[in-house]
Amino acid sequence: MQTVRERVRKRREALRAAGLRPVQIWVPDTRAPGFAEEARRQCLLVQNDPQEKESLEWLES
């Protein structure tokens, strides 16, 4: 029986052999104090921006 470490190593080797590479992505912590307030502040800044409206319409289509 393989250990978890061995299974992970084997899986990563297979992904690399398929031409993929690992990438680490950092995203905002939605649980952090002040996150909701900052998100709201930024939303209000672009609320009536014509370019933002155009971008949102494009994403929705």
Kindly provide the b/e burial profile for residues 11-22, where b requires at least 16 CB atoms within 10 angstroms of the residue's own CB: eeeeeeeeeeee
User: Hey, what are 45's tokens?
Assistant: 């800044």
**pLDDT computed for residue 43 by the predictor:** 92
Confidence grade of residue 1 (pLDDT, cut at 50, 70, 90) = confident
pLDDT (tens digit, 9 = 90+) per residue, 7-55? 999 999 999 999 999 999 999 999 999 999 999 999 999 999 999 989 9
**pLDDT computed for residue 6 by the predictor:** 97
- DSSP assignment letter at 4: H
